[in-house]
Amino acid sequence: MNEAMTGKSLSERIGDLGRRIAVEAHTAWLAARDPRVPWFARLLAVAVAAYALSPIDLIPDFVPVLGWIDDLVVVPLGVLAVRRLIAAPLWAELHATAEAASQRPSSRAGMIFILLVWAALLALVYWSIRTSPLH
């Protein structure tokens, strides 16, 4: 058994896993913004990071067990795909930056920005449906 996992409760292990997934998602976000990353990897990285950092999921988190499956399967698979498209030294550099950022306090302004982007997108969809000649 892994030494880091011995002596930890299940909730502590789940918390550690969540933090690791968050660091990987942040690494994908950094990759999406880095010009050294190929364009197709950047595009996939944007999708993975947006999904991981978004408060909206395919399966809502309040659904027991199933709500976490998308976070525990979709996000790591997306990160793995992005990671395979990026050179290992560059990924290591981006990961170190994300790891360092995870030690700092989180940004409420960033969370509010993401929520406002989702609200704007939903308002745009609603408006386009309401003004559609098919409605």
pLDDT at position 1 is: 47
- Do 52 and 21 meet the contact criterion of CB atoms below 8 Å apart? yes
Task: Tell me, yes or no, whether 20 and 71 share the same domain.
Answer: yes
- Do 98 and 30 meet the contact criterion of CB atoms below 8 Å apart? yes
Count how many Cα atoms sit within 13 Å of the Cα of residue 124 in the half-sphere of its side chain: 6
Task: Tell me, yes or no, whether 115 and 50 share the same domain.
Answer: no
Task: Tell me, yes or no, whether 100 and 69 share the same domain.
Answer: yes
* Residue 118 DSSP symbol: H
Query: To the nearest whole number, what is the mean pLDDT of the chain?
Result: 82
Q: pLDDT exceeding 90 applies to what percent of the chain? A: 29
Task: Tell me, yes or no, whether 95 and 119 share the same domain.
Answer: no
Q: d(Cα 135, Cα 32) in Å, to the nearest integer?
A: 37
CB count within 10 Å of CB 78 equals 20
pLDDT at position 104 is: 62
Domain range for residue 88?
Answer: 10-104
